Chain A
Amino acid sequence: MNWDILGQQIWNGLLNGSIYVIFAAGLSLVFGVMRVINMAHGELTMLGAMLLFTVTSVVGLSYFAGAALVVVMMALAGFLVNRVTVRPFLGHSELVVILSTVALSFILLNGSLVVWGSTPKGVDKPFNEVLQVAGVYMTTAQILLVGVCFTAVLALYLVLTRTKLGKMTRATGQNLLGARLIGINTTAVYDATLIMASGLAALAGVLIVLISAASPNLGQPLLITGFAVVIVAGMGNVGGAVAVGLFLGLTEALFGQYVSTFYRQGYLYVVMIIVLLLRPQGLFGRR
């Protein structure tokens, strides 16, 4: 056993896992509160990455200023996502809402291909020194990514459990009629939910460019992975999505190293199918 390789794969898994965690947390939040499957979540992440490319490489902002601007802008755009593609269709069947978010995702994807083209774009990292920690190579940009992901997840947890808005959001997810009858403005809660989720999606986007290039095509595969995470965890369970995202990121890297690089991509879905067969409601889901 080469311990350095094991350590390196654990670190690589942690990097991917961090992205899965922050991506799946937003996806799960929207489903948990609104029972809406947001098919455009991947494109919101993609848009975060592409807009960051534009505001840094074209406009000339620093990475941090650009990332902050993009995340805030995209969070505000979450309001429009709700008002234009979700809210008008909530009274109809769930399928209609899914299709309207699919439509949004195609519009964003094709629009981005027109604006940015399909060539991946590199974004300048704020710092990128290589460190060696206990035989594992890591860059300072990668450490930033992991640190920001965990800070964001902790912040989301604190918002949902300690603030009044967060509790009202959870209450609305647990019982919409109950929430309305005690006077919670559930329209505002839905706005806030998509604002938080879009902000998280864009945050994933501005972090991804620390470990790979920005490309209009990065949203789709991420969405599929995100669904695997959310389904294994149990639809709508944000805490479960965090644990499962991290676990799948780590074990996926180890699978690729020790079992098969070739089948690495299939690993997540095999896990998903096995979990669904044994526990249809997901690991942390309630029936």
Chain B
Amino acid sequence: MLEISSLNVSYGRVQVLFDVAITVPEGELVTVIGANGAGKTTLLLTVSGVLKPQSGSIRFEGRGIDNLPPHEIVKLGIGHVPQGKELFPAMTVLENLEMGAHMVRRQEEFEERLERAFEFFPRLSERARQRAGTLSGGEQQMLAIARALMAMPRLLLLDEPSAGLAPIIVDHLAEIILGMNDSGLTVLLVEQNAYLALELARKAYVMESGRVVESGDTEVVMESDLVRRAYLGI
């Protein structure tokens, strides 16, 4: 569904991604793990069109998307839940969700999507009239995911959803992510929390200093010396 090949990305004169190749098959949950600064966020921002690659290609369902602006990429069916959540803090939960579905013209269609988002995150329906900036960290993460789902993406890019959350909330989110994947959503999950990522995903990539250094089925990747030493501490 998503094919990234020989991708090179720079911020100004500093190159951040080197020759990155990642494939996300339809229906799968693929993870990219790596330490802070490995280039995971850069990778996702490039897929979304916020950053432009120097060279390489990004294909979504066979179509090259590396030259499209972000709003065209969302329209094609790629949702992105960014690391900082990037909510609209002075707007209510409901307005944030409305913005996620800004491309929907029919009111009934919007309400169907809203209902579906509230099914995944019942907590948000209790908080519908509250300003997003006043939510707890876990609720903000739920809202960020729900907002991206409102566009009905077929591929969801998740950037460190567990960051800064209590373990019990991370477990809850993990269940929801698995549920979304079971219902047919393809997921590319970027995580520093290797335990969580390897638990959820069938296929994993390991990044270090802007390069993919290991990839394969999660069981295999988990057994590799590199991952055991660096991420699992075994």
Q: Which residues does A use to contact B, with CB under 8 Å?
A: 164, 167-168, 170-171, 174-175, 177-187
Given A177-B82, A180-B70; 20 other pairs, CB 8 A cutoff: A167-B98, A168-B102, A170-B91, A171-B88, A171-B95, A174-B89, A175-B86, A178-B88, A179-B99, A180-B48, A180-B50, A181-B48, A182-B99, A182-B150, A183-B71, A183-B75, A183-B151, A184-B71, A185-B69, A187-B69
How far is B70's CA from A250's CA once the two chains are assembled, in angstroms? 46
* B90 contacts partner chain A, Cβ-Cβ < 8 Å: yes
Residues in A with CB closer than 8 Å to B180 are: none
Which listed residue, A164, A171, A185, touches B71 by the CB 8 Å rule?
Answer: A185
Q: How large is the interface on B (under 10, 10 to 19, 20 to 34, 35 or more residues)?
A: 20 to 34
B88, A181: Cβ atoms closer than 8 Å: no
How far is B101's CA from A167's CA once the two chains are assembled, in angstroms? 12
Residues in A with CB closer than 8 Å to B226 are: none
Residues in B with CB closer than 8 Å to A185 are: 69, 71
* B230 contacts partner chain A, Cβ-Cβ < 8 Å: no
- Contact A177/B50 with A182-B151, A183-B151 known, Cβ cut-off 8 Å: yes
A167, B91: Cβ atoms closer than 8 Å: yes
Those 3 A-B pairs whose CB atoms lie nearest each other, nearest first = A183-B74, A178-B86, A174-B88
How far is B208's CA from A232's CA once the two chains are assembled, in angstroms? 49
Encode B57-86 as 1/0 by CB contact (under 8 A) with A.
000000000000111011100011010111
How far is B79's CA from A185's CA once the two chains are assembled, in angstroms? 15
In the complex, what residue of chain A is closest to B153 when comparing beta carbons?
A: A183
Residues in B with CB closer than 8 Å to A170 are: 88, 90-91
How far is B91's CA from A180's CA once the two chains are assembled, in angstroms? 16
How far is B150's CA from A181's CA once the two chains are assembled, in angstroms? 12
Residues in B with CB closer than 8 Å to A182 are: 74, 79-80, 99-100, 102, 147-148, 150-151
How far is B86's CA from A226's CA once the two chains are assembled, in angstroms? 31
How far is B102's CA from A26's CA once the two chains are assembled, in angstroms? 25
Residues in A with CB closer than 8 Å to B79 are: 182
- Contact A181/B82 with A171-B91, A174-B89, A174-B91 known, Cβ cut-off 8 Å: yes
How far is B152's CA from A5's CA once the two chains are assembled, in angstroms? 64
How far is B156's CA from A181's CA once the two chains are assembled, in angstroms? 11
B86, A168: Cβ atoms closer than 8 Å: no
10 pairs, A vs B, C-beta closer than 8 Å: A170-B90, A171-B99, A175-B87, A177-B84, A181-B148, A182-B74, A182-B147, A182-B151, A184-B102, A185-B71
Which listed residue, A164, A168, A183, touches B70 by the CB 8 Å rule?
Answer: A183
A181, B102: Cβ atoms closer than 8 Å: no
Contacts of B101-145 to chain A: CB distance below 8 A: 102-103
- Contact A181/B74 with A167-B98, A167-B99, A168-B99 known, Cβ cut-off 8 Å: yes
Residues in B with CB closer than 8 Å to A175 are: 86-89
Residues in A with CB closer than 8 Å to B95 are: 167, 171
Q: How far is the CB of A34 from chain B (nearest CB, A)?
A: 16
- Contact A180/B71 with A167-B99, A168-B99 known, Cβ cut-off 8 Å: yes
Q: Which of A174, A183, A184 has the most CB of B within 10 A?
A: A183
Residues in A with CB closer than 8 Å to B48 are: 180-181
Residues in A with CB closer than 8 Å to B90 are: 170, 174
Q: How far is the CB of B114 from chain A (nearest CB, A)?
A: 15
In the complex, what residue of chain A is closest to B86 when comparing beta carbons?
A: A178
Q: Which of B82, B86, B87, B95 has the most CB of A within 10 A?
A: B86
Residues in A with CB closer than 8 Å to B148 are: 181-182
How far is B99's CA from A178's CA once the two chains are assembled, in angstroms? 10
Q: How far is the CB of A246 from chain B (nearest CB, A)?
A: 23
How far is B46's CA from A54's CA once the two chains are assembled, in angstroms? 51
Residues in B with CB closer than 8 Å to A171 are: 88, 91, 95, 99
